[in-house]
């Protein structure tokens, strides 16, 4: 069963982080520039939250709050569900589906080692299905 650690080896371990005291405008700019859907919020080398596009839409835009004067701390999701390197991709998929989240930070050896998104899991599933189809087509041609 593929694990989070194996997936991070394939996709990379880069994670964009932000301080909770930065503005939501800065967070949105960082997400746009990086073409990513969330930032892990870190204070004193500890994960204290996650801020996503959904957080910004529901807690800033929909409430007409000024993003340049609204802190990430005031809109971030504080309960961050995390996985480990040994967490299977199936477990991550189930967690995302059950909790209706799209990003899960991965902790290895006590520190943030990457992040896995629902898009990463969809790509992995597509690649596995393509491999299965190719194998079956080859088997059929040989028969």
DSSP per-residue codes, 27-79: HHHHHHHHT-SEEEEEETTEEEEEEEHHHHIIIIITTT--TTTSBGGGTSB--
Q: What is the mean pLDDT of each run of 10 residues along the chain (143 residues)?
A: 92 96 98 97 96 97 98 97 96 96 96 95 83 83 79
Superfamily in which the 4-117 domain is placed by CATH: CBS-domain (3.10.580.10)
From first CA to last CA, the distance across the chain in angstroms is: 29
The residues spanned by each domain of the chain are: 4-117
pTM tops 0.75: yes
φ, ψ dihedrals at 58, nearest 5°? -80, -30
Q: What is the pLDDT of residue 143?
A: 66
In the structure encoding, which two tokens stand for residue 40, read together? 């892990």
pLDDT value of position 62 = 97
């Amino acid at each position: 069963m593929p694990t989070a650690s194996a997936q991070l080896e394939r996709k990379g371990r880069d994670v964009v982080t932000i301080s909770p005291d930065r503005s939501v405008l800065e967070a949105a700019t960082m997400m746009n520039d990086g073409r990513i859907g969330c930032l892990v919020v870190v204070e004193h080398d500890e994960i204290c939250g996650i801020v996503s596009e959904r957080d910004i839409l529901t807690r800033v835009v929909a409430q007409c709050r000024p993003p340049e004067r609204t802190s990430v701390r005031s809109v971030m999701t504080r309960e961050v569900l995390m996985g480990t390197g040994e967490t299977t991709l199936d477990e991550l998929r189930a967690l995302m589906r059950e909790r209706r989240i799209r990003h899960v930070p991965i902790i290895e050896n006590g520190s943030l080692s990457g992040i896995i998104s629902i898009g990463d899991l969809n790509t992995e599933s597509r690649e596995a299905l393509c491999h299965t189809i190719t194998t079956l087509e080859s088997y059929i041609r040989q028969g």
